[in-house]
């Protein structure tokens, strides 16, 4: 991979996570009330609030800790076990911290390091793979948040894809 391709890959990851997908999550949080954010169809399903906490936690861990070498300590279980109705504003603030950190890490990341191996993950892998997996992971959970929002308010987010910035 040449440096231009590596830089393009980093910009795609950054723009999708930092701008596009995060904006979609925030739009969903803004159109729902706290009861809806913490609604779950059954006890084995996650509420939107849990998914937001999980997106923030996984982003801080994989992009901040693994790629950016921060000292973040993740409490993954609490992302899913939370049952308090944390407000949309608090969830947004938590997400903003993770996204701000990810933006700094990716923006300052040296593209020549993408194929560098890391052992900060359960299995050794490349930093490029960590970034690609986090993008896919974040995107999957954003889709779940969008779907749940449509279930709860069918007309609240029409044309979301067309109206969300991509850069």
Residue 136 neighbours by CB distance under 10 Å: 11
Q: 3-163 belongs to which CATH class?
A: mainly alpha
Task: Give the rounded distance of the alpha carbon of 156 from its chain centre.
Answer: 21
Burial class (CB in 10 A: 0-12, 13-18, 19+), 98: buried
Q: 55 near 95, Cβ under 8 Å?
A: yes
Q: Where are the domains of the chain?
A: 3-163
Helix, strand, coil percentages in the chain from 3-state DSSP, rounded to 5: 65, 0, 30
User: pLDDT tens digits, residue range 74-124?
Assistant: 998 899 888 999 999 999 999 999 999 999 999 999 999 999 999 999 899
User: pLDDT tens digits, residue range 9-62?
Assistant: 999 999 999 999 999 999 999 999 999 999 999 989 999 999 999 999 999 999
pTM, two decimals, is 0.92
Cα–Cα distance measured from residue 167 to residue 36, given in angstroms and rounded to the nearest whole number: 29
């Amino acid at each position: 991979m040449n440096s231009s391709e590596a830089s393009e890959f980093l910009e795609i990851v950054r723009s999708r996570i930092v701008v596009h997908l995060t904006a979609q999550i925030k739009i969903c949080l803004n159109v729902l009330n706290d009861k809806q954010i913490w609604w779950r169809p059954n006890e084995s399903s996650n509420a939107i609030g849990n998914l937001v906490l999980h997106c923030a936690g996984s982003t801080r861990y994989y992009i901040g800790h693994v790629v950016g070498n921060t000292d973040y300590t993740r409490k993954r279980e609490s992302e899913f076990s939370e049952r308090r109705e944390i407000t949309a504003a608090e969830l947004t603030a938590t997400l903003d911290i993770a996204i701000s950190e990810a933006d700094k890490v990716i923006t300052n990341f040296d593209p020549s390091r993408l194929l560098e191996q890391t052992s900060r993950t359960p299995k050794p892998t490349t930093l490029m793979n960590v970034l690609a997996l986090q993008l896919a992971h974040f995107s999957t959970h954003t889709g779940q948040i969008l779907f749940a929002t449509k279930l709860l308010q069918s007309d609240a987010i029409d044309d979301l894809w067309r109206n969300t910035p991509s850069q």
